[in-house]
Chains A and B, each alone.
Chain A
Amino acid sequence: MPENHCAPTRRAMRLGIAGPVGTGKSSLIMMICRELAHDIAIGVVTNDIYTDEDARMIRAAGVLDPARVLAVETGACPHTAIRDDITANAMACERLEAQHGPLDVILVESGGDNLTATFSPALVDVQIFLIDVAGGGDVARKGGPGIERADLLVVNKTDLGPHVGVDVPMMYADALAARQGGPVIALSRNDFRAVAELRGWVLDQHAAYIQGRLEPADPGPMAAHRHGPGEPEHAHAGGRHGHTH
């Protein structure tokens, strides 16, 4: 931690990272650690489905004190562990803070269940949803709670576009449209500008969190809907219901 670091008076900001298996969640965590570990104190909780491989890979990357990476087993219920019963993950976060605190940010990697799994706002303060170019150019357009309403959508592995026949600018435009203007970063680990953009987004979220401006929002499961033929389509996030159903 730098000398000018102020010990946070509140618990660490919890940043959830969800998205299908293989889209680059663990890689994103290592990237965030590499980019920010000198500026802020970070802890990591992984939810591997069948191994503790992610935790071991992140520990081995040398971007963080290995003791600050905890693996949580989810009993083949990765979805449950980040949504209906967050106990194991919440306790892992609490343990990281008790043993290594004060921490600024805890990154929680979901088990990568599928396109519908997003974090409960009771577990994380803010969340990123990841899809990747190799998963197909139409994934962004098809949407889903994470794609449409996570706090940030990352379209990862843009470097692979030419190799898998995906029009990256088109996929990015689809993502922006699906999110009605919500933030999207088209990322590749080789794209320094995009990496800097991601770094800035995380720091902005943390600043907002410290100032009490960050309100945890639930991206799902409610889909965008209309209330009547003439009514505009809209979605609800974070329990911010302006009306009753």
Chain B
Amino acid sequence: MSESPVKLAWEPQIQPEHGALTALLLADARLPIGGHTRSGSLEPALAAGVDDIPGFINLHLRTVVRTDAGTAVVARRHALAGLPLEPVLDAWRARTPSAALRADAEIVGAALVRLASRLWQLVPLPANPPGALVLGAIAAATGIDAADIARVVAYDAVQTITSAALKLRPGDPLEVAGWTLAAFPAIASVVSASADIVTPDQIPARSAPHLESYAEAHTTTTRRLFRA
């Protein structure tokens, strides 16, 4: 962990020796949190005529993922320092203007809380936390460092899109794995931009009007394979 030890208001179950493994667990698509029900808005984007899926991945990494990764990192710091998570939640909400994206993130958050309540003991969380905030709290409880949890957020965003792509626009899966590889530099940028964020007001706010409109449009369609 990068910061000096802080006096904890609450005793987390930190297993720093297994932090990296826990990060792998959280990044694994087989984790039972309903990952297969989500497309990262790829389904509505394709319906709206988007063609360039690697470009769509990049759009995520430059916009909403910045906010989510920053949120996870700050939530982790707050949890470790015994600070309340409400200001982190408020900052995330203010930076996530699409109600559809917020609702989707809250479903992921609920699934992660469901998982975490069985596996770990988290600090008290605010009501309806998004996935990014819960990931931060899990990172604090399990010894995942700031860079690793930011990496998990970014990697999961990419793989949510690529695995949905294989369902929606099936092509050679080896090529799709190549898209993930091609996204590595952008993922690394997310990590380096997020790892040292300390306070909620430092969480990035990048607007993504296209992404937001796809997500919103998806909530009113009656034919969809994915929840979001």
- A224 close to B (CB within 8 Å): no
Q: Do the beta carbons of A75 and B164 come within 8 Å of each other? A: yes
User: Is B223 in contact with A74, judged by CB distance below 8 angstroms?
Assistant: no
Q: How far is the CA of A90 from the CA of B33 in the complex (A)?
A: 10
A75 with B223: CB separation less than 8 A: no
**Chain B residue contacts of A50, Cβ below 8 A:** 223-225
Cα(A87)–Cα(B36), bound, Å: 10
A81-B36, A85-B36 known; A75 vs B167 contact (CB < 8 Å): yes
Give min CB distance, A83 to chain B, whole Å: 11
Distance, CA A120 to CA B38, complexed state (A): 21
> Given A52-B222, A75-B39, A76-B167, A87–B227 Cβ distance below 8 Å?
no
Q: Which residue of B lies closest to A80 (CB)?
A: B36
Most buried by A among B36, B39, B114, B222: B36
- Chain A neighbourhood of B30, CB < 8 A: 84-85
Residue A72 is within 8 A (CB to CB) of chain B in the complex? yes
B73-95: contact bitstring with A at CB < 8 Å (1 yes, 0 no)? 00000000000000000000000
User: Does residue B34 face the partner (Cβ distance < 8 Å to A)?
Assistant: yes
Q: How far is the CA of A72 from the CA of B224 in the complex (A)?
A: 11
Establish whether residues A87 and B223, one from each chain, have CB atoms under 8 Å apart when the complex forms. Answer: no
A115 part of interface (Cβ distance < 8 Å): no
Chain B, interface size category, equals: 20 to 34
Tell me whether B32 and A73 are in contact (CB under 8 A): no
Q: Give residues of chain A (189-206) contacting chain B, Cβ–Cβ below 8 Å.
A: none
Q: Which chain A residue has the least Cβ–Cβ distance from B108?
A: A87
Known contacts A75-B39, A77-B36; decide if A87 and B226 are in contact (CB<8 Å): no
**Do B167 and A73 touch across chains, with their CB atoms under 8 A apart?**
no
Chain A 58-96 residues near chain B, CB threshold 8 A: 72-77, 80-81, 84-88, 90-91
Q: Which residue of A lies closest to B112 (CB)?
A: A87
Bound Cα distance from A123 to B92, whole angstroms: 33
On whether the beta carbons of A75 and B107 are closer than 8 Å, the reply is: no
A114 within 8 A of B: no
User: Quick check: B114 and A73 within 8 Å, CB to CB?
Assistant: no
Footprint of B on A, CB under 8 Å?
49-53, 56, 72-77, 80-81, 84-88, 90-91
14 contacts between A and B (CB under 8 A): A51-B223, A73-B37, A73-B224, A73-B226, A74-B36, A75-B36, A75-B39, A75-B167, A75-B225, A76-B225, A77-B36, A84-B32, A85-B33, A86-B32
Residues on B lying within 8 angstroms of A by beta carbon are 30, 32-39, 107, 110-111, 114, 164, 167, 222-227
A75-B36, A75-B38, A81-B37 given. 4 additional CB < 8 A pairs? A73-B224, A81-B36, A85-B30, A91-B114
